[in-house]
């Protein structure tokens, strides 16, 4: 972790990288979600909360649109019957990833309510 933290600190020009021991999101922080990690960046006094909410809302809308189209495709009997199994599994994995990202974005938006 130490070399990874050093690399991240250097690339992102951060003062410090600290693991969350309890997994809780710090107050007034932005969240970046990847497939393997969730990053929290404290933003108190640094960002415009209204602008951040708008940005996150736009991203959430886009992800929900993609998810809706994917759900439609996965509910299509022709797709399920004719598509190769690997395509169906890939679509299901993409759906799970989108659902997880949407949950995290909603949590982030909720946390910015009082900011």
Where exactly are the structural domains of the chain?
A: 2-111
Residues in the chain: 115
- Are 31 and 39 contacting, i.e. CB atoms less than 8 angstroms apart? yes
- Alpha helix ranges (H) inside 15-84: 49-74, 77-82
Using DSSP's 3-state secondary structure scheme, residue 75 falls into: coil
d(CA 108, CA 114): 12
Q: Tell me what the mean pLDDT of segment 59-63 comes to.
A: 97
pLDDT, the chain, mean:
85
Q: What is the pLDDT of residues 82-98, one digit of tens each?
A: 999 999 999 999 999 99
Percent of the chain with pLDDT over 90: 46
Q: What is the pLDDT of residue 89?
A: 97
pLDDT tens sequence across 36-52: 777 777 777 777 888 88
Q: What is the CATH number of domain 2-111?
A: 1.10.287.380
* SS3 of residue 48 by DSSP: coil
What's the average model confidence in pLDDT over 2-29?
76
């Amino acid at each position: 972790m130490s070399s990874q933290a050093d690399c991240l600190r250097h690339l992102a020009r951060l003062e410090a990288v600290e693991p969350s021991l309890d997994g809780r999101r710090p107050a007034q922080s932005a969240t970046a979600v990847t497939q393997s990690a969730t990053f929290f960046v404290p933003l108190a006094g640094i960002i415009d909360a209204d602008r951040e909410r708008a940005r996150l809302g736009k991203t959430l809308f886009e992800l929900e649109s993609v998810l809706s189209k994917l759900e439609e495709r996965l509910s299509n009997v022709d797709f399920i019957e004719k598509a190769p199994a690997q395509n169906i599994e890939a679509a299901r994995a993409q759906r799970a990833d989108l659902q997880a990202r949407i949950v995290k974005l909603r949590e982030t938006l909720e946390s910015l309510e009082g900011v």
